[in-house]
Amino acid sequence: MDMKNTTRITLSWELFEQGITKSKIAATLGRNRQTIRLWIRGIQQYGLMPFLDMYEQSKKGERKGRQIDALVKRYIWSIREREYQCCGQKIQYFLQLEHGIHLSVPKIYEILSEKCVIRTKWQKNHPRGPVPTASAPREVIQMDSIDFGELFAFTAVDIFTREADVFMTPQLTAAYGALFLQRSMQRRFDNHVFLLQTDGGSEFKAEFGEMLPAYCEYHRIARPYKKNEQSYIESFNRTVRKECLGWNKYRLSELEECNEMVELFLKRYHYHRPHLGLEMKTPLSYVSQEG
């Protein structure tokens, strides 16, 4: 039987007045019991005819979507550009921090889509190889290197706190790798870690390997072509390129300038930039909280 909902509402009330249960009314009229309960409660509160009028009015035309102030949109677009095309969660963080405005992440992406092309999310649930895990600071440090033409960057990250270090060098050699190891351990990683993981590159052998026992208990070499085993440092390397040095090729003469850029980036990274994996805290604020 095809009938309007207003007819169903009237019938549901008449059947209810006859003492028929809401479950039986729902089965008879082909509606959910919760819907019948809401109809009857509305009629009891307002009366049959006023409730029918209210129901008809509520169904006229499409509801207007929530209107976002143009100034808020400009805030969102500005934060996106200022924070190096950051994600919706970080925009939400800065929007609340700087302007006291809270918007849901889906709404932020909806606003971003008005000016930006938003990439689809990475497909999850792909099988992944074993990844070293950490439950405390200095349990696992991952190290890697980045090629910038005539210059190279040695990088390191604590996978628990996300504290990181970068060292620009004119050559990609084990001697410079050993210098980076000594420098990063002394100024960033408290002179000792439990496990240090690198890839099998030559810059992590010879002098670098000889110096390892002074700074770590174990050295693990990630399996070739298994980038997920170096996922934390690979992610940090992308951040270095995206938010600091880009995908440019640099000359030897630009070494000092690049080091200045790196130091400014590391200061911002540790004190200003929130991290999704740290509950939207910066690495150093997270460390102080854990301590």
What is the average per-residue pLDDT within 142-169? 97
Position 130 confidence tier, pLDDT thresholds 50, 70, 90: low
Tokens 């090629």 identify what position?
147
Domain that holds residue 26: 5-58
Decide if 252 is inside a domain.
Answer: yes
Rounded to an integer, what distance in angstroms lies between the CA atom of residue 260 and that of residue 23? 73
What is the average per-residue pLDDT within 137-157? 97
Q: Which of 8-22, 62-76, 149-163 has the highest mean pLDDT?
A: 149-163
Decide if 43 is inside a domain.
Answer: yes
Both structure tokens of 173: 């050699």
Q: Tell me the C-alpha to C-alpha distance, in Å, between residue 242 and each of 18, 81, 236.
A: 71, 12, 10
What is the average per-residue pLDDT within 166-182? 97
145 and 278 share one domain: yes
Mean pLDDT score of the chain: 89
Helix axes 70-82, 88-99, angle to 10 degrees: 120
More confident residue, 64 or 151: 151
96 and 229 share one domain: no
79 and 48 share one domain: no
166 and 257 share one domain: yes
